[in-house]
Structure 1
């Protein structure tokens, strides 16, 4: 095997000061006496300060808020910094309230931070500097405060959902930092190819595990909400809050996972010849209830004839869902959003126009960047990770199309346009069989799920439908339970504690009566490769968590 010779031209040395200043995480460099010696732009933006703070003691720049008698920001930060100087080790602080001066007649703004203090050591292991890195998590703390509901069961589910919001935010930051590190290493060290590949594989495993870990509690909360709805046929204000917030969490989770796949070029499509009108209409139906919550109007205009494209039905519906979610965030109560699908010059043209807050016209292209928002961060900034538009652009471009944004300026609304190539008319597609009412047959169902909350909730929901349900929590118990062949359907998680769901499926299928069982994988592992592996192992279907009860019942009917 031949090896390449080193280049005779020396590689340029990176401008580390520029790299430091361009880092997206807020960073502050301190001397051992806690004097500020350097700061990057992200930190100045997050704290609303200027470079004139360099050379001043940090506790002089950021004193405790005198209006808050319980303020302990200075005490806790000083203790952490002294620990770093004394031990030469990194100290990660707990979530910390530390108000910052606003400059308005001595005023302070309430802020919450997630700080990490890291030492820089010289050859003698003496601390020469301290890197103070923070993340502003104020908006998520405020969401948590606003989330308490009167009903105890509803309140517990709400708190679990809000905890996942903060987890999503922190994990999104971690993924972004890993991506930035990978790009820098790839550009500077050609010889590190094998190491980069291993890091990429580790990140893929991390994303898959993240998907499973986030979707499990989200599925349990969703199922519990549906069970509460059955117990409260007259409705309850807390239920609508939970449904909306869980829907937001599901979209945030999908955006986070799809955003990482988009950045690495691993977003998968399952194309088919389809009428785009059906995907657009379905997305609008799913979102219409959210628009009606505060009097917002959603109007849809579709052409009379079909709009044929070769595309992934679910992904194209996701594009519109992300655009509608964006309009929902930035349109005030009582506002209006118009969706129009048309065919123009041989292309499918989808337009989403709202009368919301708008944006500076020069900002249009930036909106499609990762973690970007139309409104600056602040107490009234809507929830979200700033990934929806980036994912939408990736999906559209994978379909050979274009997406763009336009606004005449702040408070003048916004318009997002999608252009997709249309497909030539093909042979008529076979009509789908007509759907009948719910099947009345009682099924004997085995649920294999290690999340006890989720398993119990699925059991209660299915028993309410008249089915006979047994629950086990391990793969070994599932293999034992199916020996006698007493079940019609097995709903099996893929990530079990003792053996994976694929092994369970192969064991069941290997028996004489195994062909008669219907095996359904229900899992947070929902990538295309996961579906392929499930099919190869013998599963008849693969459903991603969180799984709405209606979708499960539809599958059981078939």
Structure 2
């Protein structure tokens, strides 16, 4: 905390600066010199004593070798020229004293003589208090003849005290001279500064930037006054410019906020557009799928027609997959991708993925090798989403492997984790692409000649789905044309060694025909679906609006009703709520069949009273499963 006199007066501050600068400069310089001197003294003393020990060792080696203590004592006596040495001795290999030297000063002052307690077979030194002890072995032809021991005064503390006393004296004299200079400067410099201070105070109080300080000299203080006056002129100019800039900034801020709002609205509309696009694309795909199923009904068909039918079915599946990927883009970017976990068998999920991708792999002429553990593996997972991950990986392996390649789909359990590998011998992945392969819209093969294409979201979606399961998706490749390996790692709940046949507990099919109500404004879809269900023996009625369906339901009393959501007039949610109010439909199963497939859409259908939510184009197998079993097989 600065004392008050130094806070109020610039002259006192100037004096404080001069005195403090002088003091700190002297203190820092003195400290540096002190450290440098003490360090030099330390190193010089050690080197000097060790040199003396080496010299004594060299000249005394013959005396030790020929057992001549007198000559050795004479050699040690030469150390009297070094007053710092107080004691020296030649020792035999067993540590016994062979010859000795004690300085006259040490004898007069009756200094105690210490002997080394360390191993004298290795050269070294030690500092204990104010003593420096050095020992040097005598070696000749690899044989130790003895050693030299020297004890010297280590007067570091005395040297430190003397240096500090000198430093204190120098600092006292310097500070006295600095005080004289500071007193003179205080009067010569602060007068004009006080005049500038008064003008500055008036400017702050009156906000009158036209005031100017009076100039009294042409020295640096005069330059300061000119600079102060120029500053006032500049402040006056900038104050006007700042006021204009503030108005411009306010306008820009309002425009920026409007742009940010527009971006948020555009982002929300983009998500809405993707969802709407997926819905609108699914609507025409649904009757197309039903039409192809009708063509599959028993009848005569030429080979060319059969081939065309296969092509159309394959391309329709590709369209459905692209639509699903398009919707998943929005779910990934908004963080709305979710899963519903349950305890399921890993092998059944893998088998589902094989059924989904098997035909595609077969069409490309690949050899698929499957290796599953014999024991059932129970995991906590969303079976549909995890099967989607495996199917994506199998499809990728098939797409990026030249025709007639090999794909291996295997699973194993290690350290409580299930490890599922999809290995191919395809085009491989370059090292620089491995870190980016799971990015959105990344394509491994970007050439125009590639056989298969997609949106580039499959791997990004797969990795996110695996992470939602608490696992990880890894990739490895030795390089171009050397194939690739994708590895899914998820936790295992338990392995069941005695699991029975899962088909034993599967529900029995209801063989009696059901009363089915189909409600959709897409006439092509419900008409084609009616043909398929009627062919399966069920009684089916159609309605193309919510009002017609509500009027028909009370009389018809369907066992199950498939309702579209986006209908004009009364939408599917309102129709479901109205049907739930009819007592005669208390046991009717309501199924939403719609192109709206986001999580919020499923939640809305559940709140409206729907039992199930199917996404267009719904598979005939799922529709039949709901009619005959009351649930969809997973």
TM score, norm. by length of structure 1: 0.62
Q: Provide, for residues 419-468 of structure 1, a one-character-per-residue CA deviation record: whole Å limited to 9, x for no partner.
A: 22333579x99977644675332222221111121111101111111222
1:230 lines up with 2:297 in the alignment: yes
SS in 1 for 2:487: strand
Q: What residue number does 1:221 align with?
A: 288
Compute the displacement of 1:495 (Å): 1.1
CA distance in 2, matches of 1:436, 1:515: 22
Tell whether the 8 Å contact from 2:376 to 2:495 is kept in structure 1 after alignment: no
**1:490 aligned partner:** 561
Contact 2:375 2:495 in 1 (8 A): no
Mapping for residues 94-493 of structure 1, pairs under 5 Å = 198-232=265-299, 236-423=306-493, 434-435=505-506, 438-493=509-564
Q: Is residue 336–residue 599 contact of structure 2 (8 Å, CA) maintained in 1?
A: no
Q: Which residue of 2 aligns with 1:5?
A: none
For the structure 1 residues 429 and 506, does the alpha-carbon distance in structure 2 shift closer, same or farther, using more than 3 Å as the test?
A: farther
The partner residue of 2:585 within 494, 510, 514 is 514
Q: Distance in 1 between matches of 2:504 and 2:574?
A: 34
CA contact under 8 A between 2:376 and 2:499: conserved in structure 1? no
Shift in alpha-carbon separation, 1:346–1:190, aligned structure 2, 3 A: farther
CA contact (8 A) 1:365 1:405 kept: no
SS at match of 1:507: helix
Shift of 1:217: 1.4
Shift of residue 191, structure 1, vs aligned partner: 9.3
Q: Is the 8 A contact 1:485 1:513 kept in 2?
A: no
Q: Within 2, Cα distance between the matches of 1:233 and 1:291?
A: 28
> With structure 2 as the length reference, what TM-score do the two structures score?
0.55
**Alignment match, 1:134:** none
Structure 1 distance, partners of 2:387, 2:372, is: 15
Report the Cα distance in structure 1 between the residues aligned to 2:336 and 2:533, rounded to whole angstroms: 36
Computed over aligned residues only, the root mean square deviation of the Cα atoms, in angstroms, reads: 2.7
SS at match of 2:360: helix
The 8 Å contact of residues 580 and 609 in structure 2, kept in 1 or not, is answered as yes
On the 8 A contact 1:338/1:354 being kept in 2, the answer is: yes
Give structure 1 stretches of 5+ with no counterpart: 1-187
Question: Following TM superposition, by how much is the alpha carbon of 1:553 offset from its aligned partner in structure 2, in angstroms?
Answer: 0.9
Distance 2:535 2:404 in 1: 39
The 1:284/1:241 distance shift into structure 2, 3 A limit, reads same
1:240-293 deviation line (CA, Å, top 9, x unaligned): 112211122222221221122112211011112222222112111222122112
8 Å CA contact 1:485–1:514 kept in 2: the answer is: no
Native 8 Å contact 2:274 2:326 kept in 1 = no
1:281-328 CA-partner distances (Å, limit 9, x unpaired): 211122212211232111111112233322211111111111111111
**Whole-angstrom CA distance in 2 between matches of 1:509 and 1:474:** 17
Give 1:485 shift: 4.1
Counterpart CA distance in 1 for 2:423 and 2:430 is 16
More helix by share: 2
1:527 is aligned to 598
Asked if structure 1 preserves the Cα contact closer than 8 Å seen for 2:411 and 2:419, the reply is yes
Tell me, in whole angstroms, the C-alpha distance in 2 between the residues paired with 1:261 and 1:215: 17
* 3-state secondary structure, aligned to 1:418: strand
Cα displacement string for residues 184-239 of structure 1 (whole angstroms, at most 9, x for unaligned residues): xxxx9799776665445433432332221121112221111111111546671112
The answer on whether the counterparts of 1:521 and 1:534 sit within 8 Å (CA) in structure 2 is yes
Secondary structure of 1:482 counterpart: helix
Q: 1:549 to 1:336 in 2, by over 3 A?
A: same
| CA pair 422-513 structure 1, distance change in 2 beyond 3 A | same
Preserved CA contact (<8 Å) 1:284 1:300:
no
Q: Does 1:502 align with 2:569?
A: no
